[in-house]
Amino acid sequence: MHQFVTALQSKLLKFQIDMFRGIKLLLPILLTIIIHSGYAQTPLPSPDLKSAGLQSPEQFLGYKLGTRFTRHADILRYLDYLLAQAPDRMKLQNYGTTYEGRPLMLATISAPANLNQLEEIRTNNLKRIGLLTGQPTASKPVIAWLSYNVHGNEAVSSEAVLQVLYDLLDVNNAKTQQWLQKTVVLIDPCVNPDGRERYVQWYGQVAAAGSNANPIAREHQEPWPGGRPNHYLFDLNRDLAWQTQKETQHRIAVYNQWMPHLHADFHEMSPEASYYFSPAAKPFHEDITPWQREFQNIIGDNNRKYFDANRWLYFTRETYDLFYPSYGDTWPTFNGAIAMTYEQGGSGRAGLTYTRTSGDTLTLTQRIAHHHTASLATLEAVADRSEKVVQEFQKYYQRNQTNPPGTYQTYVLKAKNEEAKIRSLTTYLDRQQIQYGFAANTNTLMAFNYANGKTEGAKIEKNDLVISLRQPKATLIKVLFEPASKLEDSLTYDITSWAIPYAYGLQAYAIKGKVAQTTAKPATITQTNTVPSTDKPYAYVARWNSLQDLQFLSELLNHNINIRYSEKAFASEEQQYAPGTLIITRAGNEQTGDKFDALIKTAAEKAGVQITPTRTGFVSSGADFGSSSVRYLKKPKVAILAGSGISSTGFGEIWHFFEQQIHFPVTVLDAQTLGRVSWSDLDVLILPGGYYGDILPELILNQVKDWVRNGGKLIALESATGFLAGKKDFALVSKKNTDSVDIKKNPYKLLKPYGESERSAISEQVQGSIYRVTLDNTHPLAYGYGTTYFALIQNAINYQFMTNGWNVGVLKKDTYASGFVGAQVRKKLQDTLILGHQQLGQGDIVYMADNPLFRAFWHNGKLLFGNAVFMVGQ
């Protein structure tokens, strides 16, 4: 797409370049004096005055910025144009593509002298912080990275950046040219083009001629799912640390090649709000350094200067905190950068014009002016302190390597029988440039045990994964691995707990001392396919305990291989196997002919799982392979509900799971068309969280129940379980609300100070906290797990144990592990059902009250969800 546009554009460019070459020579000096000396007072000079050769966005696009939204293809055209005009001051890199095939671009802009030795500047930086070996040379420009439009419908960002690009490349702009002498600026003009185009295309279709500022007008009512997220409806500004989305993976790969000293992330918030810049709100994560905190103020002061001069409204120190590590400000912060978020009042509701409740009209032009000014103020602040910023960055990395933060020096993750999970974890660590090794010998050490929260003697075995904190990325490791993150203030608006060992479902220890390690990967980790050569084995056996096992199953089902699984534990040829183990017998797969073995081996290799060939169907304990308790696993026809009323992120996580993680076909149904579904075509229907009142009225709910009775399987997640709870024929029931009893006992409970309303509300909240769920792993829903599972709980789940179903996962007493939970919720979460299974007629209903697929980073929940889809009710 991009190439095509470029070719077309080059013809146009020749003409435009020629046209302006004449005046280019005459005007620069005069214009510099007239226009750019006035920057401090008027941060956004009218673009049409700037015509000394380089075309402004207005001249190039043919319309004034702010009078319409610029299409992504036109943003790309302008980038190409700028590159053609200023090849000595700009580089342009296509660093990846989105799920919908749009190019992701990074512009690098600096003074010609810097651009000439760009590679040296880049590698010098990495050498100075220990991520590259060798001696750095003297050159030390500061590296600043600006990101725009990570939320697609916060569409002002990619407009403002066009003016920023122009200002940086305009040789007549004395200020920017001075900054660029000591600054390398990296600009990502559109982090989320799929989301942005979803918004821009829609707005173009529905906006009134000349726009309608009335908030009730259609152009201010963005339809589901809105342009904020990416293709799979993930919030890319929650994905920096987990890197589950293509856009983030590409972006982090290039970020890590640079390791910028500053990262600024441009956003929008409610159109009723004014403008937000640093300093950020509390809580700050405790590992944010004094210098990083100080720079929050420096950057705030520099913005304030311009916002005050223009009499623009703004606020600081509220709402936008620095705690959850996966934002565009926090993740760079834990990578040593100074980083900040900018928020303009606007977003997908604001359109081109919007009448606020105060009566004044917010325009896109104003929004552009604010983000443009903040961008330049940021660059000015960092350029003015370039030496100090580079020096502090270097100090940060030196401290990480010699005196890392926190109580623990080493994290150890048990590797035995967890090879697939360890492999996926090491891939994740590689992406983050986190170094690791493997335990050199077996030893018993005092350690914090993640499984029970106790410090006790822990057996570290040879080949366990070892991560020492004495390395460049120590702070990031500490933040991602620490068992519990210290919260200085509970008013934060994202999850409060995320420790990687829980997220991966790995047994782990945190140790105060060192652990002897080798860097050589053990064969069990590197070799993904170690199938002994056996001539025509009777069957292949595959263990069932990871996402990779699900990928393997999916691959086999896609090749129509007949698969079975054992309901009981068994022993075969001196190996012990747990319930859920897959058994692929030659018998029953005659249709594959002589390709049987190759198909199985290729699938195992692709998924990275180990399979064991057997010579017999006889087992020394458990049920023989021909037994009826070795169940046939039918390939299900699966559908997910999407559309208005459904949680877009909840749906997106399920969609991404099927298409991108296990590669299994799934049909997405629009919730509004459920009444017209041909039920006999469906085996599994998945209800993501959402508001189901309008989607499942009695008539349609009855159809769903009839379908279940005839053998269908309904899987309800999060708030969908709440909708079904208490309804006729559904076994799930909410616990009685005891609040009124408490108030009868103590009526003073009602006397809450108005000024503390926000604070008293949080006693009713659980903010992404980790709990230990007690599992019945003899039930298919919990196959592959031990007797406990660490869940990330985000709702005050409050269900009775079922009397007419299987209580597969429950929260008992004292099962809290980490994160913030309000006092009221703590009580509710005790003795509640989390995972349940009910049989109804010939069919099944699975209740999953938490979200096992949260942001695709809660890897530990993926097998549970896979069990619900593939194992339960077979």
The number of residues that bind Zn ion (CB under 5 A) is 3
Residue 297 Cβ vs Zn ion, minimum distance, rounded to whole Å: 23
Residue 239 Cβ vs Zn ion, minimum distance, rounded to whole Å: 13
Residue 151 Cβ vs Zn ion, minimum distance, rounded to whole Å: 4
Comparison of 154 and 239: residue with beta carbon closer to Zn ion: 154
Token reading at 828: 């509710």
Comparison of 128 and 267: residue with beta carbon closer to Zn ion: 267
Comparison of 267 and 859: residue with beta carbon closer to Zn ion: 267
Token reading at 426: 């090491």
With H, G, I as helix, E, B as strand and everything else as coil, classify residue 365. helix
Residue 857 Cβ vs Zn ion, minimum distance, rounded to whole Å: 19
Residue 276 Cβ vs Zn ion, minimum distance, rounded to whole Å: 11
Provide the pairing of β-strand 142-148 with 183-188: parallel
Token reading at 633: 């696993």
- For Zn ion, what does the binding mask look like between residues 219 and 258, x meaning CB under 5 A? ----------------------------------------
Q: Which of 335, 347, 332, 343 is nearest to 280 (CA)?
A: 343
- For Zn ion, what does the binding mask look like between residues 395 and 414, x meaning CB under 5 A? --------------------
Q: Does 36 bind Zn ion (CB under 5 A)?
A: no
Q: Which of 817, 807, 813, 818 is nearest to 830 (CA)?
A: 813
- For Zn ion, what does the binding mask look like between residues 151 and 190, x meaning CB under 5 A? x--x------------------------------------
Comparison of 151 and 543: residue with beta carbon closer to Zn ion: 151
With H, G, I as helix, E, B as strand and everything else as coil, classify residue 670. strand
Residue 222 Cβ vs Zn ion, minimum distance, rounded to whole Å: 14
Comparison of 195 and 537: residue with beta carbon closer to Zn ion: 195
Comparison of 154 and 555: residue with beta carbon closer to Zn ion: 154
Point out the residue whose Cβ comes nearest to Zn ion: 267
- For Zn ion, what does the binding mask look like between residues 123 and 152, x meaning CB under 5 A? ----------------------------x-
From residue 88, give the alpha-carbon distance in Å to each of 84, 115, 228, 418.
Answer: 10, 7, 35, 52
Token reading at 830: 């005790």
From residue 541, give the alpha-carbon distance in Å to each of 71, 469, 573.
Answer: 53, 39, 11
Task: List strands edge to edge, sheet with 582-585.
Answer: 611-614, 539-542, 582-585, 563-566, 630-633
Comparison of 341 and 471: residue with beta carbon closer to Zn ion: 341
Q: How many residues does the chain have?
A: 874
Comparison of 151 and 196: residue with beta carbon closer to Zn ion: 151
Comparison of 276 and 820: residue with beta carbon closer to Zn ion: 276
Residue 267 Cβ vs Zn ion, minimum distance, rounded to whole Å: 3
Distance CA(45)–CA(52), nearest Å, equals: 14
Residue 154 Cβ vs Zn ion, minimum distance, rounded to whole Å: 5
**Cβ atoms of 497 and 454 closer than 8 Å:** no
Distance CA(656)–CA(643), nearest Å, equals: 16
Comparison of 2 and 267: residue with beta carbon closer to Zn ion: 267
Which of positions 293-352 make contact with Zn ion (CB under 5 A)? none
Token reading at 93: 């890199």
Comparison of 227 and 537: residue with beta carbon closer to Zn ion: 227
Comparison of 154 and 222: residue with beta carbon closer to Zn ion: 154
Residue 192 Cβ vs Zn ion, minimum distance, rounded to whole Å: 10
Radius of gyration of the chain (CA): 29
Distance CA(330)–CA(336), nearest Å, equals: 10
Comparison of 279 and 348: residue with beta carbon closer to Zn ion: 348
The phi, psi pair for 90, rounded to 5°, reads -145, 145
Q: Which of 432, 413, 409 is nearest to 422 (CA)?
A: 413
Q: Which sign does the torsion angle of CA 439, 444, 447, 450 carry?
A: positive
Residue 865 Cβ vs Zn ion, minimum distance, rounded to whole Å: 28
Residue 153 Cβ vs Zn ion, minimum distance, rounded to whole Å: 9
CA 375 to chain centre: 25
Q: Which of 498, 503, 436 is nearest to 472 (CA)?
A: 436
Residue 293 Cβ vs Zn ion, minimum distance, rounded to whole Å: 23
Which of positions 253-292 make contact with Zn ion (CB under 5 A)? 267
Distance CA(281)–CA(462), nearest Å, equals: 45
Task: List strands edge to edge, sheet with 338-345.
Answer: 90-97, 103-109, 183-188, 142-148, 262-269, 338-345, 275-276
Residue 237 Cβ vs Zn ion, minimum distance, rounded to whole Å: 6
Comparison of 342 and 396: residue with beta carbon closer to Zn ion: 342
Residue 231 Cβ vs Zn ion, minimum distance, rounded to whole Å: 17
Q: Which residues of 122-156 are buried (b: 16+ CB within 10 A; e: fewer)?
A: bbbbbebbbbbeeebeeebbbbbbbbbbbbbbbbb
Residues whose CB is less than 8 angstroms from the CB of residue 187 and which lie 6 or more positions away in sequence, other chains included: 106, 107, 108, 109, 145, 146, 148, 161, 164, 165, 168
Residues contributing to the site for Zn ion (CB under 5 A): 151, 154, 267
